[in-house]
Structure 1
Amino acid sequence: MEPRVVRADNAGLFTLDGTRTHLLGRRRMVVIDPGPESAAHRDRLLSVLASGGAQEVRILVTHDHPDHAGGVASLADALAESGVDVRVRASPLSSLAERESLPFMPLEEGDEVPTDVGRLRALETPGHTRDHLAFHWSGGNALFAGDLLLGEGSTAWVGSYAGCVADYLQSLLRIETLQVRRILPAHGPPIDDPHEAIGRYREHRLRRIGQVREAVGSSPGATIGELVDRVYGPELPPGLRDGAAWSVRAILDHLGERPFPHDGPDGEG
């Protein structure tokens, strides 16, 4: 059985063609990343769930960014009102764990979530965020990767907390050992050559680290903005500039050049 995909109408520079919500199972189903708060997207998900006769639904969240988790409460409420046994499952580090109104159950490393087409195993894959999880579906030889990799291009945003660059590189190494046949990201099409894609993402990140190291070496007193200009060049779209600045900050922290700001984009050190 192939996972079903419902794509949210939130295309953009960071989301590509929109957040892809994956659904797996029939009566015992999982919904992976319910997407943004959108009545239209929620209703499409409910339609797919109803068509499969879902009686037990586990909403799995790879991380708590709003394009992935914004719609979790409204979907959970609608399912509960229709009599479905529903739980929201994410990392205990997720901000969702603090929302008392949610039927929340934490997912730890190695925890398994059953469906009627096999089990999904939670893997801690920090880097994009501290709370990031991926889900390994051994029965389908596939990995639901969230924002660890995207279906297009060679980079995912890494710049949200101190140590995120090292975590991200380690997470790439970790999923490479799974040797899955297919990776299903939350943005962009499926990845049918995981080995090539993981290598491409790793090489891109290492190249960026080298570029920042070189830029700092030649201009030790350069501001973040000046480093962004040198590393990314004039072709950087204006809408990506803030993200690039946080990525540079994260690489400087990784290199031991400058500590990551305590008021980082996640509100964490």
Structure 2
Amino acid sequence: MEISEGFHFLKVEKRGVVDSSSLLAIRDRKGFSCVEIGGGGEANIRQTLGLFEASGLAIENLHTVIISHTHADHMGAIAHFRGLLPALTVVDHALDAPYLRDNSLLEKAFDADLVAERFPGTRFSILDFYAAFCPISQTEPDRTVVEGDRIECGDYAFEVLHTPGHHPGHISLYERRLGLLFVGDMVGMEVPFYTPSSGGVEGYTASLRKYLALDVRRILPSHGDPIESPREAVENALAKVGRREERLMEALRLGPRTFHELLPELFRSPSQHVFPGAALLASHLGKLEREGVVGEEPDGRFVLL
């Protein structure tokens, strides 16, 4: 889909447990830049190349990749394309760069140790998860950006927004002239996901509220279709987070509850309690504890204060 002259939204259709992210491709005199590069593995790479070809973009003309955050579906193929294109420039947020250099740090960002604490004998590894469904890779960024920086792409200029919550170094990109906002995984996901080590629920909701202060006419998400009612979509995401918290509060009004007794308030299916349930619940309980609303008793049960 051509959003504006030389500005393409390359949508990836949902087909598996972890799908490659959609991409932005922006033409310029040197070739083209790309926001995201998709997941690793032969099938994902073939899909990305097919998207480029369908839009008339020759892979040898790709000169810059901007990464919203180091999750496999967004950048897992980066090592492959860097090997194919040695002069490729990789742009990443300064807080995301350590994860791009060393994928093993993602275990902390996903709070894998929380699973071991709350589910003794259960091992959760995001790298094992990615290896099974969407391979990841690592590389050294050539340029790091922070909040307020500008990234020039042909006739367009993106303002960098640091939007943590989903990941510590997650960025969104705002093209002010067109009123376009690329949000990565912050809006458009079926299940908004945030972890304590990635900014938690406070970081996630603060990032969403940052969007509401902008003049946005269209949102481009990493998963799903372009969003033509951006304010409504952001407010719906905030409301979904609010409903999660209210369900926890309703349960606690009935009396003390353990961590495991609260998990079904967020996810009915036990298959989701380890991931993503544990991190989401810990994010909400941490927020409520910091606000002085909830406390944890010596026996491990949570109570309203």
TM-score by length of 1: 0.80
Q: Is this contact kept in 2: 1:33–1:68, CA < 8 A?
A: yes
Is the aligned partner of 1:137 residue 2:175? Answer: yes
Q: Is this contact kept in 1: 2:196–2:282, CA < 8 A?
A: no
Deviations 1:62-111 (A, max 9, x none): 1101111101121233233xxxx521111122211459953521111111
Q: Tell me the equivalent position of 2:15.
A: 11
TM-score by length of 2: 0.71
Residues in 2 aligned to 1:9 and 1:197: alpha-carbon distance in whole angstroms: 20
Is the aligned partner of 1:118 residue 2:156? Answer: yes
Larger Rg: 2
Q: How much is the aligned-residue C-alpha RMSD, in angstroms?
A: 2.9
* Post-superposition offset of 1:131: 0.9
Q: Tell me the equivalent position of 1:230.
A: 265
Residues in 1 aligned to 2:213 and 2:45: alpha-carbon distance in whole angstroms: 39
Q: Tell me the equivalent position of 1:267.
A: none
Residues in 2 aligned to 1:118 and 1:73: alpha-carbon distance in whole angstroms: 27
Q: Tell me the equivalent position of 2:247.
A: 211
Q: Is this contact kept in 2: 1:86–1:103, CA < 8 A?
A: no
Q: Tell me the equivalent position of 2:25.
A: 23
Q: Tell me the equivalent position of 1:66.
A: 72
Deviations 1:188-232 (A, max 9, x none): 1111000111111111111111211222343424233x2122343
Return 29-38 or 164-173, whichever deviates more. Answer: 29-38
Q: Tell me the equivalent position of 1:86.
A: 88
For residues 31-70 of structure 1, the aligned pairs below 5 Å read 31-37=34-40, 38-44=44-50, 47=53, 51=57, 55=61, 57-70=63-76
Deviations 1:4-51 (A, max 9, x none): 233457634565xx5211212233532111110133134335546873
* Post-superposition offset of 1:258: 6.8
Q: Is this contact kept in 2: 1:22–1:33, CA < 8 A?
A: yes
What amino acid sits opposite 1:228 in the alignment?
L
For residues 127-206 of structure 1, the aligned pairs below 5 Å read 127-150=165-188, 153=190, 155-161=191-197, 163-206=199-242
Is the aligned partner of 1:252 residue 2:285? Answer: yes
Q: Is this contact kept in 1: 2:37–2:75, CA < 8 A?
A: yes
Residues in 2 aligned to 1:65 and 1:5: alpha-carbon distance in whole angstroms: 20
CA shift in 2, pair 1:243/1:258, >3 Å: farther
Percentage of pairs with the same residue = 24
Q: Can you give the 5+ residue segments of structure 1 that lack an aligned partner in the other structure?
A: 260-269
What amino acid sits opposite 1:139 in the alignment?
R
Residues in 1 aligned to 2:158 and 2:273: alpha-carbon distance in whole angstroms: 34
